[in-house]
Structure formats: structure tokens, C-alpha cells
């Protein structure tokens, strides 16, 4: 019988580092989304929600501002003039294509930071 022995300490360290990177990735995605909102969208108060279980990061983008959704907007015209009129919703996208492209580029760069090559960094 042949006996083979190998030192697996370096491989174990690399695997542990990869698991650490993957567990920390959702919070890094949230940080990147907050930076995108501040830098590209020019939001004063950026906000993002993330779920560790679903591995998602999201934010709400209001097409005309939050004041339209609060219910405090008062009509300055008689309501009887509105009868019979249909509401026409805008068909344009809420998020401009330039902003979507910049978010996609940021998240793609962030994905490039995970990998076996960066296992020596900690």
C-alpha cells in the first residue's frame, strides 16, 4: 500500500477566505448602492434595504418625488372637473438609462473583487 500525505492548510485558508468574501458581499453591495445614489443620483439622503436571506439590495425610486405618495398633496381645483377624465400614466422609464448603466458598471466592478486571486488579502 502507498501512503500519500499532503499539507492542506493553504487550501483550507483559501476556502475560508472565499467563504468570508461571499458572506461579506451583500453589505458591500449595499455600500456600493449608497455610493451610487450619492454620486450619480445626487440624493441627499440615500437609502437602501438589503436582505441577507435573498441576497438582494434595493431602493425605492419615485418618479415625481415622495410628496406625491404621502397623501398630503391637496388639490387646488374642484374635483368635479376630474370626472370623466382618464388618468394617463407616463410610459417613460423611471430610471434614466445613463443611471442604470452606471449602476450596472459599478456592480460589475464589485463582482470582480471576489475571486481566488484576492484570497491573499484579508
- For residue 26, the tally of other CB atoms under 10 A from its CB is 17
pLDDT: which is higher, 107 or 64: 107
Domain parsing of the chain, residue ranges: 24-58+93-114
pLDDT: which is higher, 91 or 78: 91
Identify the band that residue 113 occupies on the pLDDT scale cut at 50, 70 and 90.
Answer: confident
Cα–Cα distance measured from residue 58 to residue 37, given in angstroms and rounded to the nearest whole number: 11
Q: What percentage of the chain reaches a pLDDT higher than 70?
A: 71
Does the pLDDT of residue 15 top 80, yes or no? Answer: yes
Q: Which residue, chain included where needed, has cell 410610459?
A: 91
For the chain, what's the residue count?
Answer: 122
pLDDT: which is higher, 50 or 80: 50
Q: 35 by DSSP, 3-state: which?
A: helix
Amino acid at each position: 500500500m502507498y501512503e500519500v500525505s499532503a499539507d492542506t492548510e493553504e487550501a483550507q485558508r483559501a476556502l475560508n477566505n472565499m467563504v468570508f468574501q461571499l458572506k461579506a458581499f451583500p453589505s458591500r453591495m449595499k455600500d456600493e448602492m449608497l455610493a451610487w445614489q450619492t454620486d450619480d443620483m445626487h440624493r441627499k439622503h440615500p437609502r437602501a434595504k438589503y436582505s441577507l436571506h435573498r441576497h438582494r439590495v434595493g431602493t425605492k425610486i419615485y418618479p415625481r418625488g415622495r410628496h406625491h405618495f404621502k397623501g398630503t398633496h391637496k388639490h387646488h381645483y374642484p374635483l368635479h372637473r376630474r370626472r370623466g377624465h382618464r388618468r394617463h400614466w407616463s410610459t417613460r422609464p423611471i430610471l434614466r438609462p445613463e443611471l442604470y448603466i452606471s449602476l450596472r458598471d459599478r456592480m460589475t466592478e464589485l463582482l470582480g473583487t471576489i475571486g481566488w486571486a484576492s484570497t491573499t488579502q484579508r
